[in-house]
Amino acid sequence: MTSVHTDHHDHDHDHAAIEQVDRPGYYEVMETAIRELLIAKGLISAGDIRHQIEVLDSRSPALGAAVVARAWTDPDFKRRLLADGRKGCEELGISFYDDTQLIVLENTSEVHNLIVCTLCSCYPRPVLGLPPDWYKLKPYRARAVSEPRKVLAEFGTHLPDDVEIRVSDSTAAVRYLVLPLRPEGTDDWSPDELAAIVTRDAMIGVIPVTIGGEAA
């Protein structure tokens, strides 16, 4: 079940900081073991795996950035994208290799969206590629829900107290993409120029889009 959490205040208790680790995590170890078992039983081949890896390697945050830039510059496209994220992306030639839905959540001056997968690491891979390591770690998956304002602060994102934080929990069937606030002073920018400043982390919701280090 897809769940949405909101947060209006901070918490006083401490939790482990969001950290990135180099050693293989639980899911990486399990993936390797299951992959080797499936190959040994003849259920999949090494060629099948190579093909899927090539598909994944062809996906990167640049695809999502192009979607965001188009939404910032084309109100009709933005309306269609917010109504059906998957169809909106497909308009730009982005194919989906699974049956997942994509919901695009718009940040505003009053609402900030943050994406997490509390159970594992479900992620909008067709438009963003592979998730960052920190997205898969238990501290992020737990704390993004329980204390999102502190988590955002650790990424350098400090939001006013009157900005509502909405945390959306991805599932195997439903993935999310954040449509960040467009920075001021970019009214005359081309879609390519806009796409160049849209980062992966902004489309997860942990940071805003910035110009030259200044937040939107």
- What is the residue-averaged pLDDT of the chain? 86
- The pLDDT tens digits for 37-58 are 888 888 777 666 664 555 555 5
Domains of the chain: 3-10+61-215 (3.90.330.10)
What is the Cα–Cα distance from 123 to 133, expressed in whole angstroms? 12
Catalytic residue at 89? no
What is the Cα–Cα distance from 135 to 122, expressed in whole angstroms? 9
Catalytic residue at 121? yes
Q: Which residues contact 158 (CB under 8 A, 6 or more apart)?
A: 152
Q: What is the mean pLDDT of residues 109-134?
A: 94
Q: What is the mean pLDDT of residues 110-131?
A: 94
Question: What are the Cα distances from residue 171, in Å, to 2, 5, 120, 157?
Answer: 6, 14, 9, 25
pLDDT at 187: 96
Q: Exactly one of 3, 45, 120, 190 is catalytic; which is it?
A: 120
The winner for highest mean pLDDT among 31-35, 181-185, 210-214 is 181-185
Catalytic residue at 120? yes
Rg (CA), the chain: 18
